[in-house]
Amino acid sequence: MSREEILFANEAFYQAFADGDAAAMTALWAEEAPIACLHPGWEPLFEREHVIASWRAILEKPPAVRCLAPRVHDHGEVAFVLCWEAVGDQYLLATNIFAREAGRWRMVHHQSGPTNGKPPAAARDDRPRTIN
Amino acid sequence: MSREEILFANEAFYQAFADGDAAAMTALWAEEAPIACLHPGWEPLFEREHVIASWRAILEKPPAVRCLAPRVHDHGEVAFVLCWEAVGDQYLLATNIFAREAGRWRMVHHQSGPTNGKPPAAARDDRPRTIN
* For chain B, percent of residues with pLDDT exceeding 70: 91
pLDDT at B101: 96
Interface contact B114-A76, CB threshold 8 A:
no
Asked if B91 and A91 count as a contact pair (C-beta separation under 8 A), the reply is: no
Alpha helices of A20-129 — where are they, by DSSP H? 22-28, 48-59, 121-124
Greatest Cα pair distance, chain A, in angstroms, is 41
Nearest to B108 among A34, A73, A76 (CB): A73
pLDDT at B122: 57
pLDDT tens string B33-75: 999 999 999 999 999 999 999 999 999 999 999 999 999 999 9
Interface contact B97-A80, CB threshold 8 A:
yes
Closest residue on chain A to B71 (Cα)? A46
pLDDT tens string A38-59: 999 999 999 999 999 999 999 9
Contacting residues for B31 by C-beta, under 8 A, at least 6 apart: B48, B101, B106
Binding-face residues of A in 20-59 toward B, CB within 8 A: 33-34, 36, 38, 40-44, 46
Q: Supply the DSSP symbol for A65.
A: E
Confidence of residue A131 (pLDDT cuts 50, 70, 90): very low
Closest to B80 measured CA to CA, from A58, A107, A53: A107
**Half-sphere exposure (CA, 13 Å, Cβ side) for A64?**
3
**pLDDT above 80: residue A129:** no
Asked if B1 and B100 count as a contact pair (C-beta separation under 8 A), the reply is: no
Region A72-83 average pLDDT: 97
